[in-house]
Amino acid sequence: MYFTRSEIKSTKIKRYFQKDGRHFVELEENPFYEDGAGGQIGDRGFIDSARVLYVSDLIEVDGPLNAGSTVEIKIDSERRKEIARQHTAQHIISAVIEKHYGAKTVGFHMGEEDTTIDLDGTFNIEETENFSNDIVLSNLKVEEIILTPEEASKYELRKDLSEKAIKSGNVRLIKIEDFDLNACGGFHVGSTSEIGIIKITHSERVKGGLTRIWFVAGKRALKDYQMKSQVLYESAKIFDASWMDLKARIQKSLDDLKEKNATLKKMAEKLANYISKEIHPFEILELDESVASFLTRIRQDIPYAVKISGTNNVSFSLPNYDRSKVMDTAKILGIKGGGNGPIYRFATENPAIFMEKIREG
């Protein structure tokens, strides 16, 4: 594994302060990799017994520390290894896509769950995944080479050297045998097989005509596999099917549901027709939404109300009543809603009171 940070075991607290109940320190010598530097997530670990929460110029910790004191540094090395796997996987994916499809990597961002790469150009995801995993399984050696910018300029790099790298005086190249060579300051594995597996989980077109891919590698890929298997297994169980048949079973269930909904709609319309013939003036009914909706379309020549089951929504049929009078009555009773007549929709728990007021005139 190649880490850009020294493995110092102790240092001094240069500064400590609290802000809004949060704790911040500045170390005399900072061995923690910063969050977001080079697109990578930061180190975690401990400063004495205080847990590191976030690393930038200042380090946020979960408890107080004493300025001036000498502290013990513990860096979460498992996290570093996992970051190295994601980061080296990014080198491989970017190189594969550039080599096979000529699409350039223009951005890269590592998150706590997955990593994204923004690419300019088109490529086949399944092929990219296969080619990338061939590189992983070929167990290629990953080397770190430190050169001056002049020396580095003699090499053919995948990406041009950044201004920052040139100014720093030392360029750190990451070489994956004769497969890829790129300047980078992040964490990397010692051989590609340490990555385990690379899985592209998602892709999307993003602004600027770019394609963004999301990927996981190493233990993250295993976790992704475990979680998805679990969901698939449990979903298949609901359908009493094997996971292979799940998609077909879901489709069939949706088709069945569509058919049943169509039948239900026809029945609701029929029922509304029957009811429409039996309504008395000023009657208040309670019906299912679909039946009520048909009914208020079919019958609009007498006053009546339909409360939608399980809600406070009431549809009123009020022909031959002035709209302004209907709205005034609602206002007096503090009832919200409206309509253009003869059908109105109001929210009320007691439609009888409203109907009585209308009837009284």
Contact residues for Zn ion, defined by CB under 5 A: 87, 184, 186
Closest distance of CB 183 from Zn ion, Å: 9
Closest distance of CB 184 from Zn ion, Å: 3
Closest distance of CB 203 from Zn ion, Å: 21
On whether the CB atoms of residues 306 and 285 are closer than 8 A, the answer is yes
Which is nearer to Zn ion, 23 or 175 (by Cβ)?
175
Which is nearer to Zn ion, 80 or 307 (by Cβ)?
80
Total residues belonging to the chain: 361
Whose CA is closest to 183, among 94, 110, 121, 56?
Answer: 94
Which is nearer to Zn ion, 79 or 345 (by Cβ)?
79
Which is nearer to Zn ion, 74 or 158 (by Cβ)?
158
Which is nearer to Zn ion, 186 or 218 (by Cβ)?
186
Residue closest to Zn ion when measured from CB atoms: 184
Closest distance of CB 6 from Zn ion, Å: 18
Strand order in the sheet with 180-183: 142-147, 171-176, 180-183
On whether the CB atoms of residues 133 and 197 are closer than 8 A, the answer is yes
Closest distance of CB 194 from Zn ion, Å: 14
Phi, psi of 250 (to 5 degrees): -65, -45
Q: How far apart are CA 314 and CA 156, in angstroms?
A: 74
Is residue 33 exposed (0-12), middle (13-18) or buried (19+ Cβ within 10 Å)? buried
Closest distance of CB 118 from Zn ion, Å: 16
Rounded (5°) CA angle 93-89-7: 150
Which is nearer to Zn ion, 40 or 211 (by Cβ)?
40
